[in-house]
Amino acid sequence: MPTETTASPSGGALTLLSEEEIMFRDAVAAFAEEEVRPRVAEMEKAGKIDPALLPKYFELGLMGIEVPDQYGGAGGTLFMVTLAVEEISKVDAAAAIVCDVQNTLVNYPILLYGSDGQKSKYLPMLTSDVVGAYALSESGSGSDAFGLATRAEKRGDRWVLNGQKLWITNGAEAGVFVVFANADPSAGYRGITAFIIERDFKGFRVGKKEEKLGIRASSTTELLLDNCEVPDENVLGPVGQGYKIAINTLNEGRIGIGAQMIGIAQGALDATIKYLQERKQFGKPLAEFQAIQFQIAQAATDVEAARLMVYNAARLKDGGKDIVREGAMAKLFSSQVCERVTSLCVELFGGYGYTRDYPVEKFYRDAKIGTIYEGTSNMQLQTIAKAVLK
């Protein structure tokens, strides 16, 4: 594959990208500027994604980046997903997570574990016009992801699911859901099984939408399963192997969250640098004060370090390597950096930074979720410790 050594769009350290990856990254960056940015303020105010934006994701191929072209996808890589999520997050993290979840948490497990029939049915839907969602969390099983209360019972040629899922990203827009339930509670986590559920299945309902601190345009909902009937052919992977599917899927998903975090941090930093070059105090731009220059230099270094960790984990995954440790490290560090950098950006804007007339307060609010979803920072530390001390 032809390669080119190119500076990152924000002028950071040199990164080796193929010509295809450069073109893809630039196309997504243009999309984010032209289609997403004009909608950000209104989507934030309304607390939902503009429905007119979703078809544009599909048209650009952003909802099936890793899916082979035989199913309508782009036949790309996790690294390309990373680039896409990063570029959109520089503009709006809520808009980016729609694409991220679709690729890393929905398409990925269906592509990897789905039967030929499931892949032939659902992947063309998910790459053309249907949004997907991933449903693992419950009120009593967050970090303890496998303490599921949702139950699945086999009845003839179908399964009946009962329970409640919480904090489901894309819940309001999704038409297809990857849902985890325990089919054999006596076996503990070894009874957990994955199912593909369509929105109109009998007994399935999307519940309330959460009001959140950040990524407000991204829908976060509850799912209600009241004797939800699921055909036997919609069991994803072997019965009782849902825990393996969930873990493997989240390993990939953490790379997407890392990409989101470096995008948020870079977006905030870019806006701050522009402000510092324009804002004058004591007769000169703030950017000329050495104390401020040093803070920006440190922030830029931290963001670049996080970017390289995320990129490295994505490259390793695309190369077929185990990324349990690297994925956890990338998510942990990028979310820490994102919090620090966005907080600094608010401070450097002064009083303006605390108002909604300027962009950095939104970047700051959007940053917080990175330490929580798809595995809290404490869970990442536990994963890293196990890998390092084994």
pTM for the whole thing? Answer: 0.95
Query: Looking at residue 93, what is its pLDDT?
Result: 98
- Give the separation between CA 156 and CA 154, rounded to whole angstroms: 6
Q: How confident is the model at residue 15 (pLDDT cuts 50, 70, 90)?
A: low
Query: Looking at residue 9, what is its pLDDT?
Result: 46
Domain-ending residue, one of 240, 256, 290: 240
Residues 249 and 384 in one domain: yes
Domain-ending residue, one of 240, 273, 305: 240
- Give the separation between CA 173 and CA 225, rounded to whole angstroms: 17
Provide the 10 A C-beta neighbour count for residue 200.
Answer: 7
Domain count, the chain: 3
Provide the 10 A C-beta neighbour count for residue 171.
Answer: 26
- Give the separation between CA 151 and CA 159, rounded to whole angstroms: 10
Residue 120: HSE in the Cβ half-sphere, 13 Å Cα cutoff: 4
Helix, strand, coil content of the chain in percent (nearest 5):
55, 20, 25
Residues 249 and 372 in one domain: yes
Residues 185 and 280 in one domain: no
Task: Report helix, strand or coil for 4.
Answer: strand
- Give the separation between CA 272 and CA 114, rounded to whole angstroms: 45
Check which CATH number belongs to the domain holding 119 and give it.
1.10.540.10
Check which CATH number belongs to the domain holding 140 and give it.
2.40.110.10
- Give the separation between CA 255 and CA 78, rounded to whole angstroms: 8
Across all residues in the chain, what is the average pLDDT? 95
Check which CATH number belongs to the domain holding 311 and give it.
1.20.140.10
Residues 341 and 322 in one domain: yes
Residues 221 and 321 in one domain: no
* Residue 12 reports pLDDT greater than 50: no
**Residues 312-321: contacts with CB within 8 Å, 24+ apart?**
313/254, 313/255, 313/258, 314/77, 314/78, 314/79, 314/81, 314/82, 314/255, 314/259, 315/79, 317/78, 317/251, 317/252, 317/255, 318/77, 318/78, 318/79
The encoded tokens of residue 119 equal 């892949």
Query: Looking at residue 363, what is its pLDDT?
Result: 98
Q: Domain of 328?
A: 244-389
Bigger pLDDT: 180 vs 7: 180
Percent of the chain beyond pLDDT 70?
96
The encoded tokens of residue 190 equal 């070894």
Residues 113 and 166 in one domain: no
- Give the separation between CA 58 and CA 142, rounded to whole angstroms: 31
Domain-ending residue, one of 172, 206, 240: 240
**β-strand partners of 206:** 223
Residues 222 and 303 in one domain: no
Q: How confident is the model at residue 173 (pLDDT cuts 50, 70, 90)?
A: very high
Q: How confident is the model at residue 373 (pLDDT cuts 50, 70, 90)?
A: very high
Lowest pLDDT segment from 136-150, 349-363, 371-385: 136-150
Residue pLDDT, tens place only, 117-164: 999 999 999 999 999 999 999 999 888 878 899 999 999 999 999 999
Residues 374 and 249 in one domain: yes
Q: What amino acid positions are annotated as catalytic residues?
A: 374
Q: Are 166 and 135 in contact (CB under 8 A)?
A: no
Residue 150 is classified by DSSP as: -
- Give the separation between CA 118 and CA 293, rounded to whole angstroms: 54
Residues 124 and 57 in one domain: yes
Residues 292 and 385 in one domain: yes
Query: Looking at residue 145, what is its pLDDT?
Result: 74
Query: Looking at residue 390, what is its pLDDT?
Result: 84
Average pLDDT over residues 308-322: 97
Average pLDDT over residues 55-73: 98
Bigger pLDDT: 142 vs 274: 274
Q: What is the 3-state secondary structure (H, E, C) of 267-336?
A: HHHHHHHHHHHHCEECCEEHHHCHHHHHHHHHHHHHHHHHHHHHHHHHHHHHCCCCCHHHHHHHHHHHHH
Residue pLDDT, tens place only, 191-237: 999 999 999 999 999 999 999 999 999 999 999 999 999 999 999 99
- Give the separation between CA 153 and CA 139, rounded to whole angstroms: 21
Residues 17 and 127 in one domain: yes
Average pLDDT over residues 79-95: 98
Residues, the chain, total?
390
Residues 24 and 126 in one domain: yes
Phi-psi region of 374 (alpha: psi -120 to 50; beta: other; left: phi over 0): left
Average pLDDT over residues 24-28: 98
Task: Report helix, strand or coil for 372.
Answer: coil
